[in-house]
């Protein structure tokens, strides 16, 4: 899908009810950001909430991290495209057959197809936690391997920690989309994120899009917080 918004900021609508998400969306400007709908909100509010956000002018990142057999995931990303979302994602650890099936499923949408990105290693995950589930190679090598696989399968990019963005940019090229969650301005609390950077640091590292949640959604003036982050990025 051809992006209509130049801002790199994606605001995470991490709520458990449609009304709260739409109340926050009403305080934002769709010309200054995109929004992310994740598992909690989608489970609580369903596809109607996504359609409402699209009608209100927002480009929506549907962050459901699909991971299943190839046919099931292909059908899911196709259903997401029919909602009019701007981006949808899958888990790269689902394997190449699953990723290729997802790419194929979106071809019928032509230029209107959403961006398809793959989750590499969650930003809350540590190297010790990877080792505990049987991943023996270093965390950064795991991320690079999964991202390279995603590119080979035809995905548009990956979701990754901004700390891995530079090496992924060098390896996967300038057109490969890098989406970095867990971004925290220097003035905000890190929360449960581990491998994160500030917005300006993430951009310098090569991230295209930055997912920001509580520093905006928990602010007394969400729109001003969004503008402050954009100004911080512009100053670097």
Whole-number pLDDT of residue 126:
84
Assign 3-class secondary structure to 78-105.
HHHHHCCCCEEEEEHHHCHHHHHHHHHH
What residues of the chain score a pLDDT lower than 70?
1-4, 187-196, 236
User: Is 19 assigned a ligand-binding role in the annotation?
Assistant: no
- The answer to whether 118 and 92 have CB atoms below 8 angstroms apart is yes
Backbone angles phi, psi at 34, to 5 degrees: -110, 175
User: Is 36 assigned a ligand-binding role in the annotation?
Assistant: yes
User: Is 214 assigned a ligand-binding role in the annotation?
Assistant: yes
User: Is 152 assigned a ligand-binding role in the annotation?
Assistant: no
Q: How far apart are CA 50 and CA 25, in angstroms?
A: 12
Q: What is the pLDDT of residues 137-146, one digit of tens each?
A: 888 899 999 9
Task: Give me 51's structure tokens.
Answer: 């359609």
Q: How far apart are CA 193 and CA 103, in angstroms?
A: 30
Output the pTM of the full model.
0.92
Q: How far apart are CA 67 and CA 123, in angstroms?
A: 17
Beta partners for residue 87, in sequence order? 61, 115
Task: Give me 141's structure tokens.
Answer: 């090598």
Which residues carry out catalysis?
65
List the domains of the chain with CATH numbers: 9-234 (3.20.20.70)
Count Cβ atoms within 10 A of the Cβ of residue 220 and give its class: 0-12 exposed, 13-18 middle, 19 or more buried.
Answer: exposed
User: Is 14 assigned a ligand-binding role in the annotation?
Assistant: yes
User: Is 70 assigned a ligand-binding role in the annotation?
Assistant: yes
User: Is 198 assigned a ligand-binding role in the annotation?
Assistant: no
Torsion of CA 220, 224, 229, 232, to 10 degrees: -130
User: Is 67 assigned a ligand-binding role in the annotation?
Assistant: yes
Beta partners for residue 119, in sequence order? 91, 159
Q: What is the pLDDT of residues 64-120, one digit of tens each?
A: 999 999 999 999 999 999 999 999 999 999 999 999 999 999 999 999 999 999 999
Whole-number pLDDT of residue 193:
46
Whole-number pLDDT of residue 182:
82
Q: How far apart are CA 202 and CA 180, in angstroms?
A: 8
Task: Give me 211's structure tokens.
Answer: 């997912």
Question: At a CB cut-off of 8 Å and minimum separation 6, what does 42 contact?
Answer: 49, 50, 62, 64
Q: How far apart are CA 53 and CA 148, in angstroms?
A: 33
């Amino acid at each position: 899908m051809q992006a209509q918004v130049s801002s790199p900021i994606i605001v995470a609508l991490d709520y458990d009810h449609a009304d709260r998400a739409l109340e926050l969306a009403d305080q934002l400007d769709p010309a200054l950001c995109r929004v992310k709908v994740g598992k909690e909100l989608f489970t609580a509010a369903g596809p109607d909430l996504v359609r409402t956000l699209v009608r209100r002018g927002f480009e929506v990142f549907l962050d459901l991290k699909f991971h299943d057999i190839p046919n099931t995931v292909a059908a899911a990303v196709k259903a997401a495209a029919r909602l009019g979302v701007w981006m949808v994602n899958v888990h790269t650890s689902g394997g190449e057959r699953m990723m290729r099936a997802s790419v194929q499923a979106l071809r019928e949408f032509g230029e209107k197809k959403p961006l398809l990105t793959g989750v590499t290693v969650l930003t809350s995950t540590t190297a010790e936690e990877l080792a505990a589930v049987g991943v023996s190679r270093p965390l950064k090598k795991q991320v690079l391997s999964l991202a390279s696989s995603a590119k080979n399968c035809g995905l548009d990019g990956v979701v990754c920690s901004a700390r891995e963005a530079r090496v992924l940019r060098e390896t996967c090229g300038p057109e490969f989309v890098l989406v970095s969650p867990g971004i925290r301005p220097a003035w905000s609390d890190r929360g449960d994120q581990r491998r994160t950077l500030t917005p300006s640091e993430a951009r310098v590292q090569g991230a295209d899009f930055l997912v920001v949640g509580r520093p905006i959604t928990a602010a007394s003036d969400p729109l001003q917080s969004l503008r402050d982050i954009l100004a911080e990025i512009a100053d670097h």
